Structure 1
Amino acid sequence: MSQSLGKAIRILGRLGDGPATLDELASALGVHKTTVLRLLRTLAEEHFVFRDRGHRYHLGARVHELSSRGLDQREVRGIAGPHLAEFNREHGHTTHLSELVGTQVVYIDKLESHDHVRMASRIGLRAPVHSTAAGKVLVAELPAGELNDLLGVLTFAPATPNTITDSDAFRAELAQVRVQGWGQDREENEPSVNCIAAPVRDASGRAVAAVSVSVTNIVLSGERLLELIPSLLAVSERISRECGWRAITDSSRGRPA
C-alpha cells in the first residue's frame, strides 16, 4: 500500500470517530499539516470528506454511498430484510441485525421501533461483545481456541453497573446461551435498555449474524421482553433456513439441536 493511500485511509478512519480539525488530523497521523491538507483536498474533490463552517472535517456523501452499497451486498442482510420487516411490523420494537467483526459486533441493519423512543444505535456502529445480547450469541459457539483468543484480548470495560466484567462470569453466561439457544443483556450495554438476541446460521451451522430486539424499560420491562423469545427464535430460524441451514431436531428437548 502506498504511503499516501495509507494516510488517506487513516484520515477516513479518524473521521469515522467524529469530525476533526486539520490540526487534530495531523496530530492523529503524526505528519505535517501540509501533507494532511493535500490529502484532504483530494478526498474532498471525490466527496469522501467535506469541511464545515467551523473548519472541521466530516465524512462525505461518497463514504455513506459506498457504505450503503456494501451493506446491500451482504447476502445475509438481503435474506434477512423481509423477515426482519415482518417481525418489526408485528412487535413494533427496535430490531437489529449484527455480525461479529474481531472483538466487536457491528450493526448491519436496523429497524426502528413504532413508538417515539429511539435507540442510540445505528447501522455501522460497533458495540462490545461482552455487554450485548448479540455479542454473546455470536461468540457463544466459537471453537474453544478462537474463544480463548478473544477472551484473552477483551478488556471487559463496564458500560453500566450491570456489565459483566469478569472472564469467568462471561464464560458462564456463554454456556447458558449455548444451552438455551438465545442471549440477553439486562441493562448491560445501556442503562434502562434490555435486549434479547438469537443466532442466524449458515449451511455449516455457524452463527454468521444475530437478530436482536431492544427495548427501554419505559416501553417494556425486561421480564415482558422475554415473552418475545419464541417469535425471535422463529424469525432467526426462518432466516437461517434461507441461508442454507437445516436444523437437526433433538427430540429429547423438542427443539432444534
Structure 2
Amino acid sequence: MTALLTDDCAVNVQNTLPLSMVERMTLIMEAFDRPLARLTLDEVTQHTGLPRSTAHRILDQLVQCRWLIHAKTHYSLGSLALTLGGRELAQHELRSAASDTLQALALRTGLYVHLASLAGSEIYYLDMFGGRNGHRVPSQVGGRAPAHCTAAGKAILANLSPEYVDNQYASVIRSGRTDYSISDIVVLHQELARIRARNGLATERGECFGHLACVGAAVRNADGPVGAISIVTRHASPLEPLAPMVLRAARTISDKLIHGSRFA
C-alpha cells in the first residue's frame, strides 16, 4: 500500500498535523500492503513495532474515519482506502482466483453463478458466468443489492461479528426488496446462526428477486471472508442438489487465496 506521507509532503503537513502521528498512521496503513489483507491487532503491532495500546488507539481512529474496517478480531482496508486504488486490486485478486472454478460450475449446472464482495450494507457483483439454460437474471456485473436479501451477502455476514451486523443493518433492514426479504434484525441474526450451523451454506428464495432463488457460500483468505459466490435458479427449483457444488467451489477458491497469502 502506498504510504500516506511522502518526503515531499512532510513539510506541508508538519504545521497542521503532528508528524509523529502521521508517521504512526503510515506505519499501520503500510501493514495492509495487500488489498485483501486482514490483520489482528497483534499482527499490526508486530509489523509496526508500535506499543499495543498506541496501535489500538490509532486503529480505532482509522476505523472511525473509514480507512479501515473492524470485523471480529481483524482489521481490513475500508471504503476510503479502497476508493484510492485498492478496490481494483482486491477485485482483480478475487476474480483471478475464482474465474476458472466459477466457469466450470456454470457449465456444469447451466445456471448463472455470481462472485460478490461486501460494500457496506450491500453486495457488489464482481463477476458472473453462465445462463446456458436460457433464463435471465436482473443482476449484472457492477450492480449492487442489499446484502441481507441475498445468499452471497448472508454468507459473508454469517462470518462477521453481531456488532458489525447491528451497526450496518439495524437502520436499513426494514427496506427489503420483496415480501420475502428479512425485515427484522433479530430474524437476520437467527438466519445467520442457521447459516453457521450449515457449514456456511446460505440460501434465499425470492428475497432479492421474487422469481429467483440462490445458494451461496463465503470465500475466505487466511484470516476470514473476502467475498462470496452464489448460484441462481428459479424460485421453485430444489436447492439441495446445488449446495455441495457451491460449498466445494467456495473451498477451491479459498484455497487459492490462502495459498497466495503471506499469512498462510
Aligned to 1:65: none
- Distance change (3 Å), C-alpha of 1:73 and 1:208: closer
Deviation at 1:161, TM superposition (A): 1.4
- Residue number in structure 2 paired with 1:90: 108
Q: Secondary structure at the match of 1:200?
A: strand
CA contact (8 A) 1:184 1:197 kept: yes
1:194 aligned onto 2:208: no
1:24 corresponds to: none
Code of the residue aligned with 1:127 in structure 2: it is A
Q: Is 1:100 matched with 2:114?
A: no
- From 155, 164, 184, give the equivalent of 2:173: 155
Q: Give runs of ≥4 in structure 1 deviating > 3 Å.
A: 69-73
Match of 1:237?
Answer: 251
1:185 is matched with which residue? 204
Structure 2, unmatched stretches of 5+, are: 1-86, 260-264
Q: Is the Cα contact below 8 Å between 1:198 and 1:212 reproduced in 2? A: yes
Larger radius of gyration: 1
113-122 or 146-155, which moves further after superposition? 146-155
Q: 1:143 aligns with which of 161, 166, 187?
A: 161
Q: Deviation digits for residues 79-116 of structure 1, max 9, x if unmatched?
A: 10001011111111010000000110000001131022
Asked whether 1:174 is paired with 2:192, we answer yes
1:130 aligned counterpart, secondary structure: helix
Correspondence for 2:222 = 203
- Within a 5 Å distance, the mapping from 1:1-257 to structure 2 comes to 70=88, 74-180=92-198, 181-204=200-223, 206-217=224-235, 221-222=236-237, 224-244=238-258
SS of 2:140's equivalent in the other structure is coil
Counterpart CA distance in 1 for 2:258 and 2:144 is 27
User: Take 2:104 and 2:244, find their aligned partners in 1: how far apart are those partners?
Assistant: 15
Alpha-carbon shift at residue 179 of structure 1 (Å):
1.1
Whole-Å separation in 2 of the counterparts to 1:73 and 1:166: 31
Provide the TM-score with structure 1 as the length reference: 0.63
What amino acid does structure 1 have at the position aligned with 2:149?
S
Letter in 1 for 2:208: N
Shift of 1:72: 9.0
Q: SS of the counterpart of 1:211? A: strand
Give the drift of 1:154: 2.2
Cα 1:92–1:72 change in 2 (3 A) is: farther
CA distance in 2, matches of 1:244, 1:163: 33
Instruction: List per-residue Cα deviations over 1:177-213 (Å, max 9, x = no partner).
Output: 1111110111111111000101100011x11111100
Identity %: 30
Aligned counterpart, 1:32 = none
Question: Contact 2:173/2:185 (CA < 8 Å) preserved in 1?
Answer: no
In 2, Cα distance between equivalents of 1:239 and 1:94: 17
Contact 1:71-1:77 within 8 A present in 2 as well: no
Determine the C-alpha separation between the residues in 2 that align with 1:165 and 1:147: 13
Deviation sequence 1:7-28 (CA, Å, 0-9, x none): xxxxxxxxxxxxxxxxxxxxxx
Secondary structure in 1 aligned to 2:178? Answer: coil
Give, as a single letter, the amino acid of the residue that structure 2 aligns with 1:137: A
